[in-house]
Amino acid sequence: MKHVIDEELLRRFDVPGPRYTSYPTADRFVEAFGEHDYIQALQQRRAGSLALPLSVYVHIPFCASLCYYCACNKVITKHHSKAAEYLRYLSHELELQVAHCGRGHHVSQMHLGGGTPTFLNDAELEDLVSMIRRQFTLVPGGEYSIEVDPRTVTTERLQHLHHLGFNRLSFGVQDFDPTVQKAVHRIQPAEQVFKLVEASRRIGFESVNVDLIYGLPQQTPESFRHTLEQVRALRPDRIALYAYAHLPARFKPQRRIIAAELPGAADKLAMLAAALDAFSQAGYVYVGMDHFALPNDALAVAKRQGRLHRNFQGYSTQPDCDLIALGVSAIGRIGATYSQNAKTLEEYYDALDQGRLPIVRGLALSRDDVLRRAVIMAIMCQGVVDFESVGLAHLIDFPSYFARELERLRELEAVGLVRVGDGCLEVTEAGWYLVRAIAMVFDKYLQLDQDRARFSKII
C-alpha cells in the first residue's frame, strides 16, 4: 500500500465533500428554476449553429426488493404493471422535450439507471430503446450502457440487451460475502455473477463494470480481502469502488441497518488500502475518483490521452455534451443550466398529465460558476489546469482571480497531492486518490458554507 498512498494521508483528508458529477452540485439547485427556464435553454440550443451530440439518461425507479444501503430514488414493488404505465409517461415526456429541442439530434451516450432498469421485461426494454431511436440518432461508436441487477437477468436477457444496441454493462455486486449480503438484504451468489460476466464477454459487450461498496454492515478487512480476490479472478474491465455513507436520517432504507454492525473508521481505511493495493497489483489503472479500469479499456485510454470527461453518470470517454434526462428525479444539463425532474411518481405523472415538463428545480449558472466548473472538471478528469488556457477561455487573469485558492493549495502541495508552478496546477499520483479534496479548494459554495454534513466522506 505504501507505494500508492500513505494511510495517514487518507485519514487526514477523510472529510465530507461533493462527488462533483456537476458543479455547482445538485444540492445548490433552486425551485425558482422551472419549466420555462428549461424550455428556454432547449430553444437556445436548437438555435445554435453548432449542435454537438447529446447524451440521454433514463431513470427507471422500480426494484422488486429493497437493498438496505441504497440511497437512490426508487420504488419498491412486485407489481410489474407499474412499468408499463411508467413507459407511457416516459414517451410523453420525451415528446414534450423533442417539441422544443427538435428531432433527429445525434446521441453519443445513452445510460439507463435506477432503481433497476432490468426490472423492465425484454419487450418493455425494446419499446424504450425504440422510443428513443424514433426521436434521436444513436451514432456508431457511442457509449450505450445499462445498470444490471444480476438477479434479474439470464444469458438470454444479456443477448437481448446486446441486440438492442447496449455495448456496456454495469453489474451491481457490492460484496460477495454471504453474511454481508444478508445484512444488506441483497443475496446473489458469486457463481451467478461469474457466469453472467463470462456470458457478457462471449456475447461481445465492449466493457463490463462491477460496483463494489466498502463499509457495509458485517464487513471486515479479512472478509473484504476475500471479495477482492474474487473480483481479481472475475477481472471486469472496470471497477467502481464506493464508500458506504450511513445517513439514515436522509435515507429511510438505511434505518434497517444495525449501526453496531458497521465497520469502524480504521477498518474502512484498511479495506480501502487493501482494494487500492489489490487493483494496482492486478494491473488496473486508477482512472479517477472511485474508478479503476484495465489498461486497454476505453476509459483508461481516455485518461492517458487527456480525453476523459465527467457527467452525472460519472466518468466518460464521450465529449462534454448536453444531457437530456428522462424519468422521475432525473437530472439534465443543457448549456449553462441544470434541471431536475419531480422526485415522486405522483408529482411526475401529474405534471405530464397537465402537458407540462416535470421540472421542479434547477440552476442557471453564473459566469463564475462556469469558470469554476471548467477548473474543477479539469482537475477531476485531466489532473492538470493550465492557467493561461483557462484565462484566455474565460477572460480572466488566473493567478489574480484564484489567489486565495492558490494559497490554500500550498498545504496540499506540502503533503505531495499537487504541484503548483507559475503556469499550471498538476495532480500528483498520490493526489488522484484524494482528487475530491483538491477540487473542493475551488468550490465557492463550500467556501461560503462550511456545513458539509449533506455530503458523504471522501474515504
Residues annotated as binding site for [4Fe-4S] cluster? 63, 67, 70
Cα separation, 295 vs 354, in Å, equals 50
CB atoms within 10 A of CB 312: 19
C-alpha cell at 3: 507505494
Query: Where is the binding site, in residues?
Result: 57, 63, 67, 69-71, 114-116, 147, 174, 186, 211, 245, 331
φ and ψ of 447, to 5 deg: -65, -35
DSSP E strands in 92-176: the ranges are 106-114, 137-148, 168-174
Residues 6+ positions from 145 with CB-CB distance below 8 Å: 110, 111, 112, 166, 167, 168, 169, 170, 313
**CB-based burial, 317-354: b 16+ in 10 Å, e otherwise:** bbebbbbbbbbbbbbbbbeebbbbbbbebeebbebbee
Closest to 262 in 3D by CA, of 220, 213, 211, 212:
220
Single out the residue of 84, 82, 66 nearest to residue 74, CA to CA: 66
The binding site for S-adenosyl-L-methionine consists of 57, 69-71, 114-116, 147, 174, 186, 211, 245, 331
Q: Decide the pairing of beta strands 54-60 and 106-114.
A: parallel
Q: What angle do CA 263, 265, 266 make, to 5 degrees?
A: 95
